[in-house]
């Protein structure tokens, strides 16, 4: 039998959603733009798009399209796209929904290759048919289609603002991709106010055609973009998203965390498979940074444009002791390291401060030294190889103008040719706010809070750690024929669940170890095979009994043959009386092993498909829900990162004298994924790990 495959690279069936040969260049670098619905009335959206396109300074051809007007905003207008004399690269459609399809057909006829459909009234209101028609036309004619239901597209290097958002953006190196229109427009305004530069703003709306993957991959090769920031509410296809190639820092603000746990599922593992945790897993697996707020997302995005640090040793320069201590705390919390070499620091920085300053990192130059002290301390920090990154702090005082501080930091940073990462936090009033904006405008990430400054620097280190990962092939083995046969037999009996002894055998064949066990058909068989299993657990095996404990079908800690004989017979009698008519196939005897109780499993996410779960088991799983996921397929390194994801991971490094064979856990997690295409759910609870390995003490499989 040919083994089905789950892929991470290339295009799998879900990923073939986008037709090959489409190019987003015509959207971002068009030589001509037509705006359909270019009304002369300023209150109309089409008018605003035309006005923005003209006013940001787009130098290509602009063609207003209007049924009756011969000119709009001083430009010659055409009654239809087919009347435009020249080639049209990008068309922006802002006419009511009922006109969009025929207009889009005309665009295709004209040979347009890029389209932004502003109009609402498609799938978001249930008009799926017209949205599919748009997609079908786009595919048939190789048109890259943004939208529908978007506010447009902005690309600073082309001076193109084909949107009805704010007229101006500050040119920069962050590409902002947004699913939400209103929030996107709002953030354009905010970034302008805070002097955060943007290279692009892309409204995705309903994503009939172009989704996050295509835009991220386009910006991978765009020299004008350093960082990609995505505001996401939900993906259309998680599996397609998993094929996204991440070559530049991507920060995602994915909302909807509170929906965690909403997914109903039959098994225990499934009930923890809240899709937000799966999104978390997807981002980690792809090497994407997940932010929790716009403030954080834009802060990180700015810092991600900084040069990569060459090491871990940071220096804090401050005019205030308190803010220095706060920042030190923050650094420790997020795991950033401060340079700690007292005599070297004393020798280098003493001259930048009065006698009462401190050269113990934070370098406290005091409020007295002013811009001179900042300039010297910054210069030294940037010149010294021992310092790998700098955090400049400033508390606003009347004796120093924050703009002077901002100026000297900028001067020194630029003369060092931006040699290492520098972030700034300025705490104070409006003068500090202006100085922060000035620094941002000059691409030095500046913040009004130390938390944000430290967090953004941490993001840079985080991204760097993604880059240090080595590429690995998924560790997914074919399922042995014998295991597939058991699954087929179960199906042929009309069951969707696998009995415990069948589950053990399937898992063992796939590489998931069990404690020693035997499936006993009768008491004689049990006695004959129980040697070496004591102390053991006994569990009834019946296709008619799901909750074994409730019918007296479980007995634990059986110590010897006498107890086994008695309890075996007793169990058969009790079950027969409590579940009359239930077919009894036998009793599982499983050696009871001790170790750290974990939980592992497999569930199917509607977006991302099969995902493997791992967490601490026993009471921990119920109380702490300390579980994490990885989307199938993944390799051993990724499985190792899954172990490191859980909050209680320290327990796996040894707990109350119990050692854990982490390598066996990694192998077990990889082995589970082999069954991803053949079963719906696996629930191994507990999975006992000790120094000898990892063992499925109990296992359930739903097919």
Binding site for ligand ACO (CB under 6 A): 36-37, 39-41, 44-46, 65-67, 94-96, 99, 103, 118-121, 149-151, 181-182, 185
CB neighbour class for 352 (10 Å; exposed up to 12, middle 13-18, buried from 19): buried
Report in angstroms how near the CB of residue 102 gets to ligand ACO at its nearest.
8
Contact predicate 370/297, CB 8 Å: no
Report in angstroms how near the CB of residue 309 gets to ligand ACO at its nearest.
38
User: Which position's Cβ is nearest ligand ACO?
Assistant: 181
User: Between residues 148 and 249, which has the closer beta carbon with respect to ligand ACO?
Assistant: 148
Q: How far is CA 361 from CA 388, 427, 458, 639, in A?
A: 13, 20, 18, 38
Q: In this structure, what DSSP letter does residue 191 have?
A: H
User: Between residues 165 and 402, which has the closer beta carbon with respect to ligand ACO?
Assistant: 165
User: Between residues 174 and 201, which has the closer beta carbon with respect to ligand ACO?
Assistant: 201
Report in angstroms how near the CB of residue 256 gets to ligand ACO at its nearest.
18
Task: Output the 3-class SS for 251-263.
Answer: EEEECCHHHCCCC
Report in angstroms how near the CB of residue 108 gets to ligand ACO at its nearest.
15
Report in angstroms how near the CB of residue 224 gets to ligand ACO at its nearest.
24
Contact predicate 594/660, CB 8 Å: no
Q: In this structure, what DSSP letter does residue 655 have?
A: B
Report in angstroms how near the CB of residue 151 gets to ligand ACO at its nearest.
4
The sign one gets for the Cα dihedral 552, 554, 556, 558 is: positive
Report in angstroms how near the CB of residue 254 gets to ligand ACO at its nearest.
19
Report in angstroms how near the CB of residue 96 gets to ligand ACO at its nearest.
4
Tokens of 201: 């703003």
Rounded Cα–Cα distance for residues 470 and 476 (Å): 18
User: Between residues 43 and 650, which has the closer beta carbon with respect to ligand ACO?
Assistant: 43
Rounded Cα–Cα distance for residues 372 and 352 (Å): 8
User: Between residues 166 and 373, which has the closer beta carbon with respect to ligand ACO?
Assistant: 166
The residue behind tokens 């705490």 is 427
What is the enclosing helix (H) or strand (E) of 374?
helix 370-383
The sign one gets for the Cα dihedral 188, 189, 191, 195 is: positive
Residue 629 pairs with which residues in a beta bridge? 613
* Crossing angle for the helix pair 450-467 and 321-334, to the nearest 10 degrees: 30
Tokens of 399: 């004796």
What is the enclosing helix (H) or strand (E) of 324?
helix 321-334
Rounded Cα–Cα distance for residues 689 and 550 (Å): 28
Report in angstroms how near the CB of residue 233 gets to ligand ACO at its nearest.
12
User: Between residues 93 and 486, which has the closer beta carbon with respect to ligand ACO?
Assistant: 93
Rounded Cα–Cα distance for residues 120 and 597 (Å): 52
Rounded Cα–Cα distance for residues 382 and 503 (Å): 61
User: Between residues 4 and 82, which has the closer beta carbon with respect to ligand ACO?
Assistant: 82
230 phi/psi in degrees, rounded to 5: -120, 125
User: Between residues 41 and 59, which has the closer beta carbon with respect to ligand ACO?
Assistant: 41
User: Between residues 65 and 498, which has the closer beta carbon with respect to ligand ACO?
Assistant: 65
User: Between residues 185 and 660, which has the closer beta carbon with respect to ligand ACO?
Assistant: 185
Report in angstroms how near the CB of residue 86 gets to ligand ACO at its nearest.
18
């Amino acid at each position: 039998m040919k083994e089905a495959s789950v892929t991470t690279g290339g295009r799998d069936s879900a990923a073939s959603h986008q037709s090959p040969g489409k190019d987003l260049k015509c959207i971002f670098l068009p030589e001509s733009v037509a705006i359909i619905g270019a009304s002369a009335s300023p209150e109309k959206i089409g008018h605003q798009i035309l006005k923005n396109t003209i006013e940001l300074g787009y130098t290509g051809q602009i063609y207003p399209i209007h049924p009756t007007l011969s000119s709009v905003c001083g430009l010659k207008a055409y009654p239809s796209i087919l009347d435009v004399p020249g080639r049209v690269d990008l068309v922006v459609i802002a006419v009511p929904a009922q006109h969009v399809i025929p207009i889009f057909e005309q665009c295709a006829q004209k040979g347009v290759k890029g389209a932004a459909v502003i109009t609402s009234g498609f799938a978001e209101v249930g008009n799926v048919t017209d949205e599919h028609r748009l997609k079908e036309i786009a595919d048939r004619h190789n048109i890259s289609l943004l939208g529908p239901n978007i506010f447009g597209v902005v690309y600073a290097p082309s001076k193109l603002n084909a949107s009805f958002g704010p007229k101006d953006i500050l040119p920069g190196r962050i590409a902002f991709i947004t699913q939400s229109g209103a929030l996107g427009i709002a953030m354009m305004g905010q970034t302008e106010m805070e002097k955060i530069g943007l290279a692009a703003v892309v409204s995705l709306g309903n994503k009939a055609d172009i989704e996050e993957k295509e835009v991220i991959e386009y910006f991978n090769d765009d020299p004008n973009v350093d960082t990609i920031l995505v505001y996401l509410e939900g993906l259309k296809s998680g599996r397609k998203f998993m094929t996204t190639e991440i070559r530049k820092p991507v920060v995602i603000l994915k909302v909807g965390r509170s929906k965690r746990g909403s997914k109903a599922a039959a098994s225990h593992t499934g009930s923890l498979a809240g899709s937000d945790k799966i999104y978390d897993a997807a981002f980690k697996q792809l090497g994407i940074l997940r932010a929790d707020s716009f403030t954080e997302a834009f802060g990180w995005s700015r810092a991600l444009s900084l040069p990569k640090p060459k090491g871990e040793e940071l220096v804090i320069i401050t005019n205030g002791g308190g803010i220095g201590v706060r920042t030190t705390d923050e650094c420790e919390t997020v795991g950033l390291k401060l340079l700690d070499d007292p005599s070297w620091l004393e020798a280098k920085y003493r001259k930048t401060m009065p006698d009462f300053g401190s050269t113990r990192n934070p370098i406290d130059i005091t409020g007295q030294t002013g811009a001179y002290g900042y300039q010297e301390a910054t210069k030294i920090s940037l010149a010294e190889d021992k310092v790998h990154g700098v955090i400049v702090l400033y508390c606003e005082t009347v004796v120093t103008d924050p703009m002077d501080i901002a100026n000297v930091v900028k001067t020194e940073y630029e003369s060092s040719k931006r040699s290492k990462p520098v972030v700034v936090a300025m705490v104070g009033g409006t003068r500090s706010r202006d100085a922060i904006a000035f620094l941002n405008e000059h691409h030095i990430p500046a913040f009004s809070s130390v938390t944000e400054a430290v967090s953004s620097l941490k993001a840079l280190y985080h991204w760097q750690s993604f880059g240090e990962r080595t590429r690995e092939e998924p560790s997914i083995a074919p399922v042995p024929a014998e295991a597939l046969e058991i699954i087929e037999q179960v199906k042929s009996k009309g069951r969707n669940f696998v009995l415990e002894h069948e589950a053990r055998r399937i898992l063992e064949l796939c590489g998931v170890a069990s404690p020693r066990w035997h499936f006993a058909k009768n008491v004689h068989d049990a006695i004959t095979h129980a040697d070496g299993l004591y102390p053991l657990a006994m569990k009834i095996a019946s296709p008619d009994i799901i909750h074994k404990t409730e019918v007296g079908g479980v007995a634990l800690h059986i110590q010897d043959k006498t107890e086994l004989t008695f309890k075996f017979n007793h169990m058969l009698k009790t079950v027969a009386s409590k579940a009359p008519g239930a077919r009894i196939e036998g009793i599982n005897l499983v050696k009871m092993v001790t170790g750290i109780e974990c939980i592992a499993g497999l569930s199917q996410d509607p977006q991302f498909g099969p995902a493997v779960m791992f967490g601490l088991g026993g009471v921990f799983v119920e109380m702490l829900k300390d579980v994490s996921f990885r989307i199938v397929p993944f390799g051993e390194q990724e499985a190792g990162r899954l172990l490191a994801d859980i909050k209680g991971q320290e327990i796996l490094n040894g707990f109350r004298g119990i050692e854990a064979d982490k390598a066996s856990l990694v192998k077990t997690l990889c082995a589970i994924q082999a069954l991803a295409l053949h079963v719906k759910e696996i629930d191994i609870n507990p999975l006992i790990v000790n120094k000898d390995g990892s063992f499925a003490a109990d296992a359930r499989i739903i097919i």
